[in-house]
Chains A and B, each alone.
Chain A
């Protein structure tokens, strides 16, 4: 645990000391604040459903910017050699980087909680869908961060890591749109892989353990792939 906490400390410091995390958080909150205010004034409904979908869409673009450097930069700078020749387990390294990435994304999502507070102060929102929406966002973020980390483990080029992660994330987000063109068996598979189809129930107030299980298992699978990528020697 000592080694793990040293790795996590270093990752958190590296991420939060770099301007990119704060720029990303700032831009994200600016866009979301604008959208929240506009929608609230136009619709006058005490709901965050539209915000949840917008946050989810932005996460597809923003998470790869946060995760692109996690392992690719270590590989490019050669510091991965320092880490992997020290008495450090690959699993600890991957987990520390995953948690550091998650902490930035959860900070970002958590700060949008101010919108829920505003709704609570000036209206009578249904709290169930708000809680489930935030849980859905956290689970979606977990899948996206681990996916970005896994891609980052295979390259030393941050730009390639970001672009490939964005590509895979968008493909998984809307893969259910392909389903209509496919035969029955495959149709169900593609729908079940869709991030949008898995996220929608959370955003609208319905929670299914199968959807939560999907996000958790894709996270574990991506983290496992990242570990295997590091263990390839």
Chain B
């Protein structure tokens, strides 16, 4: 669990993002400590994925700032990205590549080489238990295994922050449980920021939850300190808000 004495892995201050005239993220601030699992919760279109894209460097903020491991995501983008493993929502992978080939490629992008890269690939494959699919074409894998491959690439290079965008989307119940267990296990080694629009998914894995609506952060709450359940908390924070 998070220790408030250590420096934050994620520091977000007054982050705002416009798409044209539309404000997708509005003055959002929060932080995350090592070992912490934070859930970003909100309905579709509330700005969850945009925040993740701002933190991972795929988008640049219109104003405000964000740091990963002390590196600014805009001015020190490469260093910040080196600290992050990211699994986008739709699990984009190279369908024509074999699993091993893809993981080796992603490892090399993270600066791993030769035997070090091969060892790192073997580690993540073992951790996510898909060794028997290493020579399979990614395009032929089921959604569940594609998700594992996507998480595996995000773990290469031992990132300090793992960012998972709707990681249980499209998975069957068994796969959802596996992802949940994996998130819990990984939290021993890194901070994890996970989004979902499903309350129970966040409640089962997160230490803290940030609730978003319409791009605004309505509140951040440690689940262990909350007297109410996540459903009640969500309703109390969103009560009276325009939908």
- Please pick, from B92, B95, B111, the residue contacting A87 in the complex, using a CB distance under 8 A: B111
- Please pick, from A6, A14, A82, A85, the residue contacting B108 in the complex, using a CB distance under 8 A: A6
- Please pick, from B53, B92, B109, the residue contacting A7 in the complex, using a CB distance under 8 A: B109
A–B Cβ pairs within 8 angstroms, 20 of them: A3-B108, A3-B109, A17-B96, A77-B92, A78-B92, A79-B93, A81-B53, A82-B93, A84-B58, A85-B56, A85-B58, A86-B81, A86-B109, A87-B78, A87-B79, A87-B81, A87-B111, A88-B81, A88-B109, A233-B58
Contact residues of B between 59 and 102, Cβ < 8 Å to A: 59-60, 78-79, 81-82, 84, 86, 88, 90, 92-96
Main secondary structure of the interface of B (DSSP, over half): loop
Rounded to whole angstroms, the CA-CA distance of A122 and B106 in the bound complex is: 52
- Please pick, from B60, B84, B95, the residue contacting A85 in the complex, using a CB distance under 8 A: B84
Number of A residues, CB within 8 Å of B: 23
Contact call B92/A233, Cβ cutoff below 8 A: no
Q: Say whether A83 faces chain B, with CB atoms less than 8 Å apart.
A: yes
Across the interface, which residues of B come within 8 angstroms of A9, CB to CB? 105
Contact call A81/B92, Cβ cutoff below 8 A: yes
Contact call B109/A78, Cβ cutoff below 8 A: no
Contact residues of A between 73 and 96, Cβ < 8 Å to B: 77-79, 81-89
Across the interface, which residues of B come within 8 angstroms of A44, CB to CB? none
CB closest residue in chain B, given A77: B92
> Chain A residues in contact with chain B, CB under 8 A?
2-3, 5-7, 9-10, 14, 17-18, 77-79, 81-89, 233
Across the interface, which residues of A come within 8 angstroms of B105, CB to CB? 6, 9-10
> Chain B residues in contact with chain A, CB under 8 A?
53, 56-60, 78-79, 81-82, 84, 86, 88, 90, 92-96, 105-106, 108-111, 113, 153
CB closest residue in chain A, given B82: A87
Contact call A233/B110, Cβ cutoff below 8 A: no
Across the interface, which residues of A come within 8 angstroms of B60, CB to CB? 233
Contact call B92/A85, Cβ cutoff below 8 A: no
Across the interface, which residues of A come within 8 angstroms of B95, CB to CB? 77
**B89 nearest CB across to chain A (Å):** 9
CB closest residue in chain A, given B61: A233
Rounded to whole angstroms, the CA-CA distance of A82 and B92 in the bound complex is: 7
CB closest residue in chain B, given A79: B92
Contact call A78/B59, Cβ cutoff below 8 A: no
Contact call A82/B88, Cβ cutoff below 8 A: yes
Q: A77-B94, A233-B59, A233-B60 are in contact. List 19 more A-B contacts (CB 8 A).
A: A3-B109, A14-B94, A17-B96, A18-B96, A78-B88, A79-B92, A81-B53, A81-B88, A82-B92, A82-B93, A84-B57, A85-B57, A85-B84, A87-B78, A87-B79, A87-B82, A87-B110, A87-B111, A233-B58
CB closest residue in chain A, given B78: A87
**A19 nearest CB across to chain B (Å):** 11
Contact call B59/A86, Cβ cutoff below 8 A: no
Contact call A79/B94, Cβ cutoff below 8 A: yes
Across the interface, which residues of A come within 8 angstroms of B94, CB to CB? 14, 77, 79
Contact call B88/A2, Cβ cutoff below 8 A: no
Across the interface, which residues of A come within 8 angstroms of B113, CB to CB? 2
Contact call B92/A3, Cβ cutoff below 8 A: no
Rounded to whole angstroms, the CA-CA distance of A7 and B109 in the bound complex is: 8
Across the interface, which residues of B come within 8 angstroms of A86, CB to CB? 81, 106, 109-110
Contact call B93/A85, Cβ cutoff below 8 A: no
Contact call B109/A87, Cβ cutoff below 8 A: yes
Rounded to whole angstroms, the CA-CA distance of A233 and B61 in the bound complex is: 8
Given known contacts A6-B108, A79-B93, is B86 in contact with A85 (CB within 8 Å)? yes
Given known contacts A14-B96, A78-B88, A89-B78, is B58 in contact with A3 (CB within 8 Å)? no
Across the interface, which residues of B come within 8 angstroms of A7, CB to CB? 109
Across the interface, which residues of A come within 8 angstroms of B86, CB to CB? 82, 85
Rounded to whole angstroms, the CA-CA distance of A79 and B82 in the bound complex is: 18
Rounded to whole angstroms, the CA-CA distance of A17 and B153 in the bound complex is: 23
Rounded to whole angstroms, the CA-CA distance of A170 and B111 in the bound complex is: 42
Across the interface, which residues of A come within 8 angstroms of B53, CB to CB? 81, 85
